[in-house]
Amino acid sequence: MQGIAYWIEKHASIHPDRIAIITEQEKITYKELDEKICKAAAYLFRRLGVKRGDRIAILSQNRLEYVVLLFAIAKIECIAVPLNIRLNMNELVFQLKDSESTVLFAEEAFQQMAKSLETESGIEQVVALETLTHLEEPLNRLSYEINENASFIICYTSGTTGKPKGAVLTQKNMFWNAINNILAIDLNSKDRSIVLLPLFHIGGIGLFALPTLFTGGTIVIPGKFEPAKALSMIEEHQATVVMGVPAIHQALLKCPSFQAKNLQSVRWFYNGGAPCPPELIKAFVDKGFLFGQGFGMTETSPTVFMLSEEDANRKIGSIGKPVLYCDYMLVDRQGNEVGTGEVGELIVRGPNVMKEYWKRPEATNDAIRDGWLYTGDLARADDEGFLYIVGRRKEMIISGGENIYPLEVEQAIGQLSEVQEVAVVGVADSIWGEVPAAYVVKTEGSLLTQDDIIDHCHSLLAKYKVPKQVVFLDELPKNSTGKIQKNRLVTN
């Protein structure tokens, strides 16, 4: 099998002058992109001394060099470890140590943090991502026969231990995710997809950056998300596909320039990462736009379900039907398939499902059983086969497309000596979908305040994981066995 970098090489040979990437500063043709990838791969291999299977971490906002580096890593069969720039030092150190990354590429804005990470995590080399901009490497192609099951990327996602797990995706996974997305929304070489989701998330990579480049289309990279700038670039570069989470769509809609811009080039506004409020969908539909939803997860590269163009306005609230090369079932706790209209756990299988959790064989075996990935999400199907997510068997909070596991937040709050008990749950939020809320029982005589807890969390956790509200209770609701009843906290 040819690796994903071959896509760019092939397009460069067929239509070298076609535009592959547009940024605020420049337009890059497929020929230029291919040359940059080849030089970056040679730099990694010859100058930095990396070898097959080495983990290479990336700490950066969206930019051209990020895409170049991802393809260069794939070209020499190394493994990318994208780091969430919103994480704090402790969280970043954990992921670097867990992945045993040897090289960290960081853009200039994060160089100081990168140097601290080098000291704390055992990283062998820290390199400025901007180094890849004007490499003087000779344009000698490195030719590798890529193993289709070779690991390509480790994307960290929260787990039941409260510590993130690294979902290992292969180049084969990314190939099939591209095929599924292309077929689902008819992506083609005329499309221009704007990349508003961060490339350190699988959504930014798989929806729809890589699939668009697979077709020979163009991706538009605005950099840091700013609604006015994004709308200007959509208009200027005639973007056809706009992917976002609810918070992004809300920000675009509320931006004063939304009405003034000519957005008629957009054939799809597409939502993922978290359920989209029906009123937000309706706002786009009322303005004459097609607004689609779908379902995916880090472990599935990510796309599993999509709502087709013809059904987008008819089935508002549905995640659609499975993409072509992915199967699903809804099962009860005994693993039996449930009937139409009944709620069951969503399990999926297909060539887009991850290889494993990095160094977590037990977690891998728990998640993937007999070839099926157990998602932990609860769903029902209507009589036409359209799926609707109704909840999560696990307690994951999804806030603006970011996964938050309550146990991690509870453990942080529990470090305070004046906290007797704590429970963290997700509460509805009109902008972010959900936000974390903490319910706390203080020790007797404690003068602990909400600000004390929030300040403490800021010192340990990424900002989006910090509870947006703290409620003090005399006791937490529990069942007869002493287990905290979080559903009662949400209800009340």
- Under a CB-based contact definition with an 8 Å cutoff, are residues 375 and 424 in contact? no
Q: What is the pLDDT of residues 7-49, one digit of tens each?
A: 999 999 999 999 999 999 999 999 999 999 999 999 999 999 9
Measured CA to CA, the distance from residue 307 to residue 275 in angstroms comes to 13
**Which band of pLDDT confidence, cut at 50, 70 and 90, is reported for residue 1?**
low
How far, CA to CA in Å, does 27 sit from each of 206, 212, 219, 434? 21, 16, 10, 37
Measured CA to CA, the distance from residue 211 to residue 371 in angstroms comes to 25
Kindly list the structural domains of the chain, giving each domain's residue range(s) and its CATH number in brackets, ordered by start: 5-381 (3.40.50.12780), 397-491 (3.30.300.30)
Residue 365 parent element (H or E): helix 361-367
User: Residue 491: what pLDDT?
Assistant: 66
Give Cα 329 distance to the centre of its chain: 24
Measured CA to CA, the distance from residue 169 to residue 307 in angstroms comes to 24
pLDDT, mean over the chain: 93
- The DSSP letter of residue 209 is I
Selection from 260, 217, 221, 259 nearest residue 243 by Cα: 221
At 79 the three-state DSSP class reads: strand
* Lookup: tokens for 157: 């996602």
**Which band of pLDDT confidence, cut at 50, 70 and 90, is reported for residue 161?**
very low
How far, CA to CA in Å, does 327 sit from each of 305, 346, 469? 10, 10, 40
Measured CA to CA, the distance from residue 238 to residue 284 in angstroms comes to 18
Measured CA to CA, the distance from residue 422 to residue 414 in angstroms comes to 7
* Lookup: tokens for 132: 């890849």
* Lookup: tokens for 85: 């720039």
User: Residue 160: what pLDDT?
Assistant: 40
- Under a CB-based contact definition with an 8 Å cutoff, are residues 352 and 301 in contact? yes
Residue 322 parent element (H or E): strand 321-322
* Lookup: tokens for 10: 């092939």
Q: What is the pLDDT of residues 40-69, one digit of tens each?
A: 999 999 999 999 999 999 999 999 999 999
Q: Which residue has the tokens 């231990």?
A: 161
Selection from 245, 206, 203, 226 nearest residue 400 by Cα: 245
Q: Which residue has the tokens 């749950």?
A: 425
Q: Which residue has the tokens 């959900």?
A: 434
The answer, yes or no, to whether residue 479 has pLDDT greater than 90, is no
Identify the weakest region by mean pLDDT among 101-115, 126-140, 464-478. Answer: 126-140
Amino acid at 315: K
Quote the strand ranges of 393-462, DSSP E. Answer: 397-399, 402-404, 419-429, 433-442
Measured CA to CA, the distance from residue 202 to residue 188 in angstroms comes to 21
DSSP 374-396: EEEEEEEE-TTS-EEEEEESS--
Measured CA to CA, the distance from residue 275 to residue 401 in angstroms comes to 9
User: Residue 487: what pLDDT?
Assistant: 82
Q: What is the mean pLDDT of residues 124-143?
A: 87
Longest dimension (CA), the chain: 74
Backbone angles phi, psi at 382, to 5 degrees: -85, 180
C-beta atoms surrounding 89 within 10 Å: 13
Amino acid at 456: H
Q: What is the mean pLDDT of residues 389-402?
A: 82
Backbone angles phi, psi at 423, to 5 degrees: -135, 135
The answer, yes or no, to whether residue 251 has pLDDT greater than 80, is yes
Higher-confidence position of 303 and 478: 303
Measured CA to CA, the distance from residue 237 to residue 193 in angstroms comes to 10
User: Residue 52: what pLDDT?
Assistant: 95
Amino acid at 371: G
**Which band of pLDDT confidence, cut at 50, 70 and 90, is reported for residue 2?**
confident
Q: What is the pLDDT of residues 316-359, one digit of tens each?
A: 889 999 999 999 999 998 999 999 999 899 999 999 999 999 99
- Under a CB-based contact definition with an 8 Å cutoff, are residues 115 and 93 in contact? no
User: Residue 390: what pLDDT?
Assistant: 78
Selection from 39, 104, 107 nearest residue 75 by Cα: 39
Amino acid at 481: T
**Which band of pLDDT confidence, cut at 50, 70 and 90, is reported for residue 482?**
low
Q: What is the mean pLDDT of residues 137-155?
A: 82
Q: What is the pTM of this model?
A: 0.86
The answer, yes or no, to whether residue 481 has pLDDT greater than 70, is no
Q: Which is it for the CA torsion 186, 192, 198, 202, positive or negative? A: positive
The answer, yes or no, to whether residue 480 has pLDDT greater than 50, is no
DSSP 25-64: S-EEEHHHHHHHHHHHHHIIIIIS---TT-EEEEE--S-H
